[in-house]
Amino acid sequence: GAVVSQHPSRVICKSGTSVKIECRSLDFQATTMFWYRQFPKKSLMLMATSNEGSKATYEQGVEKDKFLINHASLTLSTLTVTSAHPEDSSFYICSAAELRGGRNIQYFGAGTRLSVL
């Protein structure tokens, strides 16, 4: 299957700092990427849908000014957690939609574990 690279895999930061997470589709172009958050022993929760060249669509309850999403190219989307606080500590996962031959499959990155001290 297609490959989605997510970086960094783990980050530890101080409260109040900003953290940027990158999501790249390595062997296909993705007009749409998605950002999820997962708390321990819980399922994935969609945060936002990232569309290349336009503003992201955020799910209800997700602060767009806190979780900045940029999808500047067909292979790269970034999520910036601004002024991170301990409650933002979580596992963040991105996915990219590959459209090929009538098939539509989302492939996921390996995730970024964020710990805010």
Partner 1 sequence: DAKTTQPPSMDCAEGRAANLPCNHSTISGNEYVYWYRQIHSQGPQYIIHGLKNNETNEMASLIITEDRKSSTLILPHATLRDTAVYYCIVRVQGGSEKLVFGKGTKLTVNP
What are the residues binding partner 1 (CB under 8 A)?
A: 1, 4, 6, 31-32, 34, 36, 43-46, 49, 51, 91, 93, 95, 97, 99, 103-111, 113
Q: Name the residue type at position 48.
A: A
The closest alpha carbon to 117, from 19, 7, 9, belongs to 19
CB of 45 to partner 1, least distance (A): 8
- What is the rounded CA–CA span in Å between residue 13 and residue 36? 20
For residues 52-77, one letter each, b for 16 or more C-beta atoms within 10 angstroms of the residue's C-beta and e for the rest, the string is beeebebeeebeeeebbbebeebbbb
The residue among 68 and 91 lying less far from partner 1, judged by its C-beta, is 91
The residue among 13 and 97 lying less far from partner 1, judged by its C-beta, is 97
The residue among 40 and 86 lying less far from partner 1, judged by its C-beta, is 40
CB of 93 to partner 1, least distance (A): 5
Q: In sequence order, what are the beta bridge partners of 79?
A: 21, 69
CB of 116 to partner 1, least distance (A): 18
